[in-house]
């Protein structure tokens, strides 16, 4: 197992305590476990690329661990009333769309794509929103900005997928 994949599994492991302590209102402890998970996200991709250890398993597990960490933390804040359940659903919609799109690409083309700049920007906004929910009275505003960034990222990937599937077929002209 690669070092990057070990870090991804550490992120999965940090998610449970982050959610547990956050939902119980022990925000400093919840944040500590969130920060541990988030730090592993910053490091795993970098290490995989620089050590030439990018694996198909890592390409699947890394975004799954990210989604679980953020979904768990955001659901905890919904339980605490810091964000509405409607806001949480707003966050989930583009995540589900991205997951369905990724599954489609894998099943149809055996393709696992890496995140591009819009996805990385949405991930940054999402991380900032989580940090703000722990420490700022304006956390929900940051959260809604992250929801918007995730929707825009989802539209970008959807358009890219449609363009790839809608190209001219052999013998056709545009």
The conformational region for residue 97 under phi > 0 = left, psi -120 to 50 = alpha, else beta, is alpha
Rounded to the nearest 5 degrees, what angle is found at the Cα of 36, between the Cα atoms of 34 and 41?
A: 95
Residue 22 phi/psi, 5-degree rounding, is -65, -50
7-16 residue pLDDT tens: 999 999 999 9
Mean per-residue pLDDT of the chain? 87
The CATH number of 3-165 is 1.20.120.1760
Q: Which two tokens stand for residue 110?
A: 């055996």
Residue 35 phi/psi, 5-degree rounding, is -60, -40
Domain boundaries, the chain: 3-165
CA separation (Å) from 59 to 49, 53, 160, 163? 11, 11, 19, 23
148-168 residue pLDDT tens: 999 998 888 788 877 877 754
Check residues 109 and 89 and name the one with the higher pLDDT: 89
DSSP track, 80-147: TTSS-HHHHHHHHHHHHHHHHHHHHHHHHH---PPP-HHHHHHHHHHHHHHHHHHH-TTHHHHHHHHH
Say if residue 5's pLDDT is above 60. Answer: yes
């Amino acid at each position: 197992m690669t070092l990057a994949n070990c870090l991804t599994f550490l992120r999965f492991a940090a998610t449970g305590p982050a959610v547990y302590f956050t939902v119980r209102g022990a925000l400093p402890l919840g944040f500590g476990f969130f920060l541990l998970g988030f730090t592993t996200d910053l490091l795993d991709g970098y290490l995989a690329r620089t050590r030439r250890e990018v694996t198909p398993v890592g390409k699947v597990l890394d975004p799954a661990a990210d989604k679980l960490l953020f979904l768990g933390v955001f659901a905890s804040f919904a339980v605490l009333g810091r964000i509405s359940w409607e806001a949480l659903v707003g966050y989930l919609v583009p995540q589900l769309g991205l997951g369905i799109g990724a599954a489609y690409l894998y099943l149809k083309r055996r393709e696992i794509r890496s995140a591009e700049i819009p996805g990385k920007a949405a991930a940054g906004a999402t991380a900032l929103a989580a940090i703000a929910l722990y420490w700022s009275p304006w956390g929900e505003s940051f959260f809604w900005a992250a929801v918007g960034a995730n929707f825009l990222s989802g539209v970008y990937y959807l358009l890219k997928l449609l363009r790839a599937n809608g190209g001219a077929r052999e013998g056709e002209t545009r």
